[in-house]
Structure 1
């Protein structure tokens, strides 16, 4: 605990300094931004006013009425821009117009030839100086710009800016903000008592030069009582010494810096309070640990007494678990065998359903094959006649037609052979148009024989679905045959097959028959449930299982034709 107390004390000191440094850095940048925005605003004024016609007219013709007009205009402009005073100086250094022309402290008639900002503006075109006003006695920043008439200088226009409002904003932060010039003199500050004091001791030559320019009036320019120790600044004041953490930020005044002195004591007090809380928590934890250890020692004796009995019980339980594990393995093997048999039985049932459908399909397929066979015989007999007459071209045309008809017969028999195949292929991409065409080869003749109008609409014929073609055709054949059975006694029977959507692909098969009886709706897809006297009730159950294997579904929907409707939902491959 002693080591923890020493470590926490050291941490509190370092953390307090770091926190004060962070606050000083953030406040310094914020205060520098406020100052820069003020400077940027007022620096534009002399540039704009140097092009003002009345300024040139007043400087070129003294005694002109333009001077009186300029006085009023400068007064209005100073009031609107919050400038302390705006005034115009001729080449001799005498003020000829000013915004304070009607006040006792008017600058009109005052000669500022000795001021560095006047000399700098006349020599270089513009100059800046922070100094104490010789008439008003108030400090401010003087922004001067030369007014030219071609190559001939006419005079200088000066804008004086005072920063009382800005310094009041700085004072709200709780830190002490000051701006020092190139000589280290405090020219702006949130602590008025520090104004015109030097941040460090001034060399005698620098002090004499500043006195000669009268930039700071009769100010003593005494240094601040600063003592530095380990990055801390200790400043002696009337109400005692205060410790600060300092951060400097450059500003756009020539040679100047903004220095922010953040009181270190609040951050240190906060860190010390945190350290005390942490130490208290550690003390509580250590006490709790001691109490816990005492209770552990007390319980250890009871545990040792129960240990022997526990070992015997564990051994007995281990034997029981070993036996139970053996039984579970046997049960798992039986379950796996039952599952295998179930899958095999389900495939056998699907195969039986397909073979049962073939019996109904055979008559239609035979009719489909008989027509091209009859046509082949006619074309063959005609070809013999053409060959006897040496008309080989016509015979060749008939032989080409025979080839096309044999291809048609091969497609029909191939589709029937694939449909009767026992082992289904693995799942993969199946062209939707091809699967529907294959289905129509198997059941199309039956629909035509019954006079059923079949309307087929495929939104995207090139789409492929994730399925097995044989089993997908089995589902389509089953639904179309069910529709044909339902429409047996329906006048003007109709069936719609619509394929639409992108992902998933949706196939709707609807008819205008009597629909599904209401009592069959709750168990429509249950095996051995059927509404036909001669039906087994396996078709829809098998179709639903096949769609589930495809990762899709088979559902009953309302038919737009008024009969029964079924929807196949399939994943896009």
Structure 2
């Protein structure tokens, strides 16, 4: 090759390198890489934050479910610690009393889904248990070595997670000590909570969840293989922190198959759940109502972060490409304007056409992005609305029960005030002022009774105790009969009194009158259409109780109705609310008594057992 040819090749190469098109290509590549990297990182951060927020919310919901279950179960030992039958059994152990408490604990365990409820004496011997029928019955077994018994006897209450010595099943033991009047410990009530149903519920959500104690031992887990494993290596310090009985199966306390992130901030982890291949999860944790327990949750990432990053990078590259294209078109237009002036109009139209095509693609991408943003906003708004509606529904349900109960209780006094008011007008027209004054006094008494009823509502809102004092039972009976005498006479019901009411009991007179009025009214309605309706009101003293018995000779109650008689909103009348007997039982219970339906050959017999003064 000649020297002139080489010089010509170098000149042409230099001209090619420094052409505007080359600079535009280099700028497009550089800007595309920079903006794609920035947009990808921003999208990664936003997607990760959104996933972390979802995981945190999910963990809070799981913790709320666990908290609700534990609070419900914690209340049972507290209530049983005040139960007179349990206290009587511990004070004077007897086979008959033990059998009665066995049946009561069996019913209570079935209603509350507790694994087992049992009563230990001061030496740790089981006197009564809800599983008394089972081959693994706790009755007669001594548990004085168990930490929950030791802690309850020392501190008054205890909580301990361990394996059952007879069942071999894990659970949380909740214990409560019972004391005699002189302060002497009588024994301990123990309830065992098993979390099988809760774990199944978590498992169905598709998000692995587990609860660890202060030492990092997994106690409750939606993945069965993770139970009794540890969130980290179990050294001596972590063993001392653990509140769990560490006498477990071989292989327990081994670390989980993935590293639990430290700290409370949500983080991405890589883990395999069950037999599935490892995938990416967002880990979140939150405290629970139980001291030291921490709930962990894994929310599946499902490629959301990668998709968001790819989308953002694609949009960034598309934007830079469009800008580079616009610049290239402008350069080409300038060149065409210089070289081919006659084709200026054609070049302008071509440029506009290309701009419209590229702008249309950008517009479509922008609209798609806006639609995604709007859908996300609507989903967020719907979720917030659903949460507000759930809160409002809970408030309305409670308010409905309170208003229905108050309306039910003041119905009879209001009807009596109406009757006395009409009577007072008639007596006033006859100028029988003494009788008018008597009617007005009765209206005042009934008005005060209504005020006492509404005072109960205020006491309920303040969580205050009712005004319980020593009263004559006869005063409450006469007050109730005074309100229902017209109803009995209208139905032709013959009233028979057995026993004397000249005995004092612990009660609130107005509230006890409401119970008597409700029971007499129910009996009168049940005897409608009977040939010889009869109501028998009996007062008797039996042991440590004064029994007020109200019996009718009506058609009685069907067995399926009798079993649910004291359940809210269960009624046999078409216009009934199903709250009267529930309210009556609560009133009698507030006096330290009991209201039950007694077996009878005919009609219905209700027995209110009250504490004598």
TM-score (norm 2): 0.46
TM-score, length-scaled by structure 1 = 0.48
Q: Which is greater in Rg? A: 1
